């Protein structure tokens, strides 16, 4: 029996039967321009478990993404999962709704966000599904508060030039387009005393003017996630911040971001012995010459969500792993996919005839302290 623990951040092999066909994809038109930068939000549809509609008790919206979009809209994404006795989504699998040309948009936060939803306890559900439908807004039509929010959270995934374009637009909005004066003293909230919500990054963007002495005036919350304690602390921090004098400004902003609370624990995992074949020839302890290199699924680490995966594999006589497969994982398939890559890249000591039927558990566990928020003057 093998067990590995990831010190930083798939559904069972037998998948549930396919749910009814998803509803038609409806995308709100974003822009008349042929191609341009957009904000993209994914809106959740109705949850159904078999033929039964199920209402969640709490929901978490996926992070807003940014992308360049032209004539083709992004794809909707179907989520399949089960609901356990505690009302928690498990075995989450996501699949894009296909059938037409589409614009690429990152969808990595859909499963983490869904895993934080909660349903009524004591009413387990199988063959559950919902569809996330994309809603787009071009940057030049988006409300300033949306741009400030996305820039403050810094959770959007972008591999091109869209993110710098967003920050440039926010800079043009900040201080009514004038260059902000030099910061002499930047005060921050005392975040250790602030309440947090599991898996959720809170934000607060304070708007203010700057007088001729460099003192912030007319302070008010421009946009926030609704954490009242963070709002009050952000206002206090902005009030104590000082700028170089003789450069009065209007319409300036400062963001404050609060990371997720303590890690969201993974569902209880079974022992590996239940997955071991009767005729397995794998030793109880595998001696690695190239140990598994532990990595964490980034979308889940951003929300401090923990998980696990049970992986089966064989060993070649020269020590290479082969026939690597996911036997089970929770709360979502990505933990299994990541664990499979971890084991596939490892190398064990060689042995005559190799071994087959090896089973290991990979546990993805966040550090004891998870506070990766960043303050930025860009917003």
* Structural domain spans, the chain: 16-142, 272-364
Distance CA(180)–CA(250), nearest Å, equals 9
- Full-model pTM: 0.86
Which pLDDT does position 17 carry in this prediction?
41
H helices then E strands: how many in the chain?
Answer: 6, 18
The angle subtended at Cα 224 by Cα 223 and Cα 230, nearest 5°, is 135
Token pair 């979009």: residue: 69
Token pair 């990152």: residue: 106
Q: In the CATH hierarchy, which fold is given to the domain comprising 272-364?
A: TolA/TonB C-terminal domain (3.30.2420)
Mean pLDDT in consecutive groups of 10 residues from the start of the chain, 379 residues = 38 37 42 75 98 97 95 95 98 90 93 98 96 96 97 85 94 93 96 94 98 98 98 98 96 95 94 95 95 94 97 98 98 98 97 96 83 36
Residue 368 CB contacts under 8 Å (≥ 6 apart), including other chains: none
Residue 317 backbone dihedrals phi, psi, to 5 degrees:
-55, -30
């Amino acid at each position: 029996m093998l067990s590995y623990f990831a010190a930083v951040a798939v559904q069972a092999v037998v998948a549930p039967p396919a749910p009814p066909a998803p509803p038609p994809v409806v995308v709100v038109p974003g822009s008349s321009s042929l191609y341009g930068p957009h904000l993209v939000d994914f809106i959740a549809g109705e949850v159904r478990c078999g033929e039964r509609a199920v209402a969640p008790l709490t929901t978490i919206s996926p992070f807003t993404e940014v992308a360049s979009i032209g004539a083709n809209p992004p794809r909707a994404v179907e989520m399949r999962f089960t609901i356990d006795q505690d009302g928690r989504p498990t075995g989450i699998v996501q699949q894009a709704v296909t059938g037409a040309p589409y614009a690429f948009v990152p969808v990595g936060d859909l499963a983490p966000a869904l895993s934080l939803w909660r349903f009524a306890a004591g009413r387990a559900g199988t063959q559950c599904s919902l569809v996330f439908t994309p809603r787009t807004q071009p940057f030049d039509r988006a409300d300033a508060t949306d741009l400030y929010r996305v820039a403050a959270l810094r959770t959007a995934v972008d591999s091109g030039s869209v993110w710098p374009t967003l920050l440039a637009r926010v800079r043009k909005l900040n201080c009514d387009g004038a260059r902000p004066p030099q910061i002499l003293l930047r005060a921050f909230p005392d975040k250790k005393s602030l309440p947090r919500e599991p898996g959720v990054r809170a934000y607060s963007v304070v708007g203010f003017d700057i007088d001729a002495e460099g003192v912030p005036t007319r302070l008010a919350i421009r946009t926030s996630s609704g954490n009242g304690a963070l709002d009050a602390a952000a206002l206090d921090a902005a009030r104590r911040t000082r700028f170089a004098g003789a450069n009065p400004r209007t319409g300036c902003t400062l963001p404050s971001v609060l990371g997720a609370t303590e890690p969201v624990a993974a569902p209880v995992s079974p022992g590996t012995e239940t997955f071991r074949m009767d005729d397995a020839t794998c030793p109880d302890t595998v001696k690695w010459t190239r140990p598994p290199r532990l990595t964490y699924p980034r979308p889940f680490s951003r929300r401090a969500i923990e998980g696990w995966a049970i992986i089966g594999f064989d060993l070649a006589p020269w020590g290479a792993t082969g026939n690597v497969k996911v036997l089970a994982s929770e709360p979502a398939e990505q933990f299994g996919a990541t664990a499979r890559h971890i084991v596939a890249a490892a190398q064990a000591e060689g042995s005559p005839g190799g071994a087959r039927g090896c089973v290991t558990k990979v546990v993805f566990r966040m550090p004891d302290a998870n506070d990766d928020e960043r303050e930025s003057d860009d917003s």
